[in-house]
């Protein structure tokens, strides 16, 4: 080995060591709980700024039939393997019941036909995934606000939790079950619907059959698929790992307006 | 009588608000870039318009198999470049993985969209508030109008060409000329501060579904959310290019003098005959 080779080897080693230190250093800073708490303070700031500056009734842009994407992507669960869900699917959701309970005056248990008979809304909207992509689709579904009024929310209700049929992660304690939550501002927003149709057809399994939440001013992971039960709660600390949703429990923001 | 030798005088070049906001910006932009690349890695492809045309992105970074090995491929339009180790497929030998940008360029280093978003939005707030302080102070004190907008004389083609050739020969302004910014400095600083950085904020906001509901003119102006994402990415590239040139100029035109001026505000210029 020549001196130049040795020097080159040494330089390469030093560069690799520096890169290693840089990465470990950066990752250590990232993993520090106090750093994480400071970083996540931005979420509250964003949510408050949005609630202050954007009208609570402002509608997400709606598009025309011509804008509908032919390649609308489905991700997360696209074919749940949970036994209870498979059983419902095999019988065409004949035995499906949408349960509405929690802090309500009159708990409900509705068949799909009953859900379809509720006040509906059709909208062609843009679906924005947290990963960065967007697809436009047409959705028809029951408006959530009137449905909640049917059950009668108690004064103590502050959030609406959506319990889903799919386990995105197989766990022993059931914490891999998908769920989501929204506040009452979004719950009563006119575009917030429980969609049972997509692009003029029955909602496909990949997109959340039989019912999927559309909460148009937030990112895709808030749009819970395979909705089985809607629960009105005063807080969600006791549900899942306490952060208000499957992805929230895994580090994502509860407020997903950005 | 012979001419007196040139004399060094310190001129007060940068106001405190400029110096403080400059260094906050260094930190904020560095972390915004690195966390931005982390977020980009969640879907390393770019599109034009409102939606993603998944089959034909105009830019993408992917890992594909070639002769039993994985390679990184970067595609821009109809151009396909092998970028193994840097874009599309990177990591330590034996531990390579499909990823848009390599670990050393992202925050955090490992793949975590959730953490990348936390870093990005925290520093986005810091960057916006810092930018508002900079802009309001420097509009009020006249710095932007006085020092950052080129004069009519400076924009004359002959003058601009002279500056380009001077820069290419690394001949920097001396004496009275060095008291103010030349046209190229004004165009690049002004362009970044008044055009590119605000564009960065606006295209960033356009990617927010909530902001789009409240301000539908935003996606309309940029031609859709995916176009806004593309412009956001391109502007980030412009900022990186600006910083590289800026750092090179700082190094070549007197690193200590430049650093001092951005820390204490004082910049040394040589004045013929000691006229103050």
Sign of the C-alpha dihedral computed for residues A113, A119, A122 and A127 taken in this order = negative
Tell whether B174 and B236 lie within a shared domain: yes
Token reading at A210 = 């039989």
Determine the 3-state secondary structure of A42 from DSSP. helix
Each of the 276 residues of chain B gets a pLDDT tens digit; together they read 566 677 889 999 999 999 999 999 999 999 999 999 999 999 999 999 999 999 999 999 999 999 999 999 999 999 999 999 999 999 988 889 999 999 999 999 999 999 999 999 999 999 999 999 999 999 999 999 999 999 998 999 999 999 999 988 988 888 888 888 999 999 999 999 999 999 999 999 999 999 999 999 999 999 999 999 999 999 999 999 999 999 999 999 999 999 999 999 999 998 876 544
Kindly state whether residue A127 falls inside one of the protein's structural domains: yes
Describe the crossing of helices B157-168 and B183-190 by its angle, rounded to 10 degrees. Answer: 90
Interval A160-178 mean pLDDT: 91
Instruction: Please give, one letter per residue, the 3-state secondary structure of B110-141.
Output: CCCHHHHHHHHHHHHHHHHHHHHHHHHHHHHC
Which residues on chain A are in Cβ contact (under 8 Å) with B226?
133-134
Listed residues B68, B83, B100: the one ending a domain:
B100
Per-residue pLDDT at B273:
60
**Alpha carbon separation from A36 to A214, B40, B103, B183 (Å, rounded):** 30, 21, 20, 43
Q: Is residue A98 part of a domain?
A: yes
- Confirm whether A26 is domain-assigned: no
Question: Hey, what are B88's tokens?
Answer: 């599309």
- Cβ-based contacts of A31 with chain B (< 8 Å): 108
Same domain, B134 and B172: yes
Pairing assessment for the beta strands A193-198 and B79-82 based on DSSP bridges: unpaired
Please check whether residue A45 lies inside any domain of the structure. Answer: no
Q: Quick check: A132 and B216 CB within 8 A?
A: no
Domain membership of residue A21 (yes or no) is no
How many Cβ atoms from other residues are within 10 Å of residue A210's Cβ?
24
Looking at per-residue pLDDT, the higher value among B275 and A28 belongs to: A28
A49 falls within a domain: no
Please report residues of A whose CB lies closer than 8 A to that of B51.
Answer: 67, 69, 126, 134-136
Query: Hey, is A83 helix, strand or coil?
Result: helix
Is residue B232 within 8 A of residue B203, CB to CB? The reply is yes
- CA B81 vs CA B59, B60, B75, B76: distances in Å: 11, 11, 6, 8
Looking at the fold, whether B53 and B124 belong to one and the same domain comes out as no
Domain boundary among B59, B79, B100: B100
Domain of B78 in residue numbering reads as 48-100
pLDDT of residue B276: 46
Tokens of B255: 């690193």
- Is B2 domain-assigned? no
Tokens of B26: 């260094």
Whole-angstrom distance, CA of residue B121 vs CA of residue B127: 10
Q: What are phi and psi of B157, to 5 degrees?
A: -50, -40
Residue A221: pLDDT above 70? yes
DSSP B151: P
* Dist CA A226 CA A53 (whole Å): 33
How far is the C-alpha of A253 from the C-alpha of A243, rounded, in Å? Answer: 9
Asked, for residue B1, whether it belongs to a domain, the answer is no
- Residue B115 C-alpha, separation from nearest chain A C-alpha, in angstroms: 7
Chain B nearest-CA residue for A38: B122
Out of A39, A251, A257, closest to residue B122 by CB: A39
Longest dimension (CA), chain B: 81
Q: Cβ distance A188 to A148 under 8 Å?
A: yes
Q: Are residues B107 and B32 in the same domain?
A: yes
Pair (B13, B92) in one structural domain = no
Contact between chains at A60 and B211 (C-beta distance less than 8 A): no
**What residues of chain B lie within 8 A of the CB of A30, using their CB?**
107-108, 112, 115, 119
Pair (B89, B153) in one structural domain? no
The domain total for chain A is 1
Based on the fold, state whether residues B160 and B67 are members of the same structural domain: no
Rounded CA-CA distance B66/B204 in Å is 36
With CB atoms and an 8 Å threshold, state whether B109 touches A46. Answer: no
Q: Do A63 and B50 touch (CB under 8 A)?
A: yes
Mean pLDDT of A156-183: 93
How far away is chain B from the Cα of A135, in angstroms, using its nearest Cα?
Answer: 5
Please state the domain count of chain B. Answer: 2
Give the domain range for residue A95. Answer: 58-250
Instruction: Write out pLDDT tens, residues A58-74.
Output: 999 999 999 999 999 99
What pLDDT, on a 0 to 100 scale, did the predictor assign at position B243?
98
B9: left (phi over 0), alpha (psi -120 to 50) or beta: beta
Q: Do B140 and B83 share a structural domain? A: no
Say whether both B87 and B162 belong to one domain. no
Per residue, the 3-state secondary structure of B166-202, as one string, reads HHHCCCCCCHHHHHCCCHHHHHHHHHHHHHHHHHHHH
- For residues B175 and B133, state if they share a domain: yes
Q: Which of residues 136-175 of A touch B (CB under 8 A)?
A: 136
Q: At what angle do helices B16-41 and B225-252 cross, to 10 degrees?
A: 130
Which among A38, A61, A71 has CB closest to B55? A71
Retrieve residue A208's tokens.
Answer: 């959340």
Determine phi and psi for B207, rounding to 5 degrees: -80, -5
Predicted structure pTM score = 0.93
Q: Residue B257 and residue B259: Cα distance in Å, rounded? A: 6
Q: Is residue A2 part of a domain?
A: no
| Chosen from B210, B215, B220 to mutate, greatest number of chain A CBs within 10 A | B210
Average pLDDT along chain A: 94
> Is A28 domain-assigned?
no
Q: Mark which residues 30-59 of A lie under 8 Å from B by CB.
A: 30-31, 36, 38-43, 45-46, 50, 53-55, 58-59
- State which of B58, B77, B100 marks the end of a domain: B100
Does residue B172 fall inside a structural domain?
Answer: yes
Distances (CA, A) of A180 to A148, B36, B112: 16, 26, 20
Q: Are residue B119 and residue B13 in the same domain, yes or no?
A: yes
User: How big is the CA angle at A49 (ends B228 and A26), to the nearest 5 degrees?
Assistant: 70
- The CATH number that applies at residue A136 is 3.90.420.10
Nearest to A222 by CA among A188, A183, A190: A183
pLDDT in tens, A77-124: 999 999 999 999 999 999 999 999 999 999 999 999 999 999 999 999
Q: Do B112 and A19 touch (CB under 8 A)?
A: no
- Rounded distance, CA A205 to CA A9, Å? 56
Which of B109, B213, B224 should one mutate to test binding to chain A, selecting the residue with the greatest count of A CBs within 10 A?
A: B213
Asked if residue B181 is part of any domain, the answer here is: yes
pLDDT of residue A1: 54
Determine the Cα angle at B35 with ends B31 and B39, to 5°. Answer: 160
Tell whether B129 and B235 lie within a shared domain.
Answer: yes
- A-chain residues near B122 (CB < 8 A): 38-42
Q: Does A123 touch chain B (CB under 8 A)?
A: no
| A97: Cβ contacts below 8 Å, ≥ 6 apart | A109, A110, A111
The answer for B 50-79 residues in CB contact with A (under 8 A) is 50-55
The residue behind tokens 């007197």 is B254
Q: Quick one: pLDDT at residue B2? A: 61
Domain of B113, CATH number, reads 1.20.950.20
């Amino acid at each position: 080995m020549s001196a130049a080779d040795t020097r080159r080897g040494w330089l390469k080693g030093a560069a690799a060591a520096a890169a290693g230190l840089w990465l470990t250093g950066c990752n250590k800073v990232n993993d520090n709980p106090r750093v994480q708490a400071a970083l996540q303070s931005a979420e509250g700031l964003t949510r408050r700024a949005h609630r202050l500056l954007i009208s609570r009734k402002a509608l997400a842009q709606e598009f025309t039939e011509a804008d509908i994407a032919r390649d609308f992507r489905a991700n997360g669960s696209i074919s749940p393997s949970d036994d209870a869900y498979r059983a419902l699917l095999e019988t065409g959701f004949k035995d499906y019941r949408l349960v509405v309970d929690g802090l309500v005056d009159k708990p409900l248990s509705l068949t799909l036909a009953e859900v379809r008979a509720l006040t509906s809304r059709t909208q062609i909207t843009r679906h924005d995934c947290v990963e960065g992509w967007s697809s436009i689709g047409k959705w028809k579904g029951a408006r959530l606000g009137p449905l909640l009024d049917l059950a009668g929310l108690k004064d103590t209700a502050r959030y609406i939790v959506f319990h889903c049929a799919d386990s995105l992660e197989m766990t022993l304690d059931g914490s891999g079950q998908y769920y989501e939550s929204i506040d009452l501002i979004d719950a009563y927003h006119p575009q917030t619907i429980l969609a049972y149709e997509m692009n003029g057809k029955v909602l496909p399994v990949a997109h959340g059959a039989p019912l999927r939440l559309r909460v148009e001013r937030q990112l895709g992971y808030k749009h819970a698929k395979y909705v089985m039960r809607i629960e009105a709660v005063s807080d969600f600390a006791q549900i899942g790992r306490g952060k208000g949703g499957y992805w929230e429990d895994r580090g994502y923001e509860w407020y997903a307006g950005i | 009588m012979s001419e007196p030798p040139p004399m060094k005088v310190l001129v007060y070049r940068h106001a405190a608000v400029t110096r403080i906001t400059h260094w906050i910006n260094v930190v904020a932009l560095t972390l915004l870039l690195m966390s931005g690349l982390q977020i980009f890695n969640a879907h390393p492809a770019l599109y034009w318009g409102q939606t993603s045309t998944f089959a034909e992105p105009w830019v993408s970074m992917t890992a594909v198999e070639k002769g039993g090995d994985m390679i990184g491929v970067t595609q821009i339009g109809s151009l396909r470049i092998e970028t193994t180790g840097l874009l599309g497929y990177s990591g330590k030998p034996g531990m390579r993985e499909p990823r848009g940008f390599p670990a050393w360029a992202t925050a955090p280093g490992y793949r975590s969209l959730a953490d990348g978003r936390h870093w990005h939005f925290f520093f986005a707030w810091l960057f916006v508030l810092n930018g508002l302080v900079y802009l309001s102070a420097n509009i009020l004190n006249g710095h932007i109008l006085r020092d950052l907008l080129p004069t009519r004389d400076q924009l004359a083609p002959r003058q601009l060409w002279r500056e380009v050739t001077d820069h290419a020969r690394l001949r920097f302004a001396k004496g009275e000329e060095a008291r103010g910014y030349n046209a190229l400095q004004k165009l690049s600083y002004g362009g970044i501060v008044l055009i590119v950085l605000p564009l960065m904020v606006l295209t960033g906001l356009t990617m927010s579904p909530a902001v789009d509901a409240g301000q539908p003119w935003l996606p309309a102006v940029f031609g859709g959310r995916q176009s806004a994402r593309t412009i956001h990415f391109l502007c980030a590239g412009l900022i990186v290019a600006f910083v590289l040139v800026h750092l090179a100029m700082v190094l070549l035109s007197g690193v200590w003098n430049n650093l001092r001026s951005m820390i204490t505000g004082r910049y040394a210029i040589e004045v013929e005959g000691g006229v103050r």
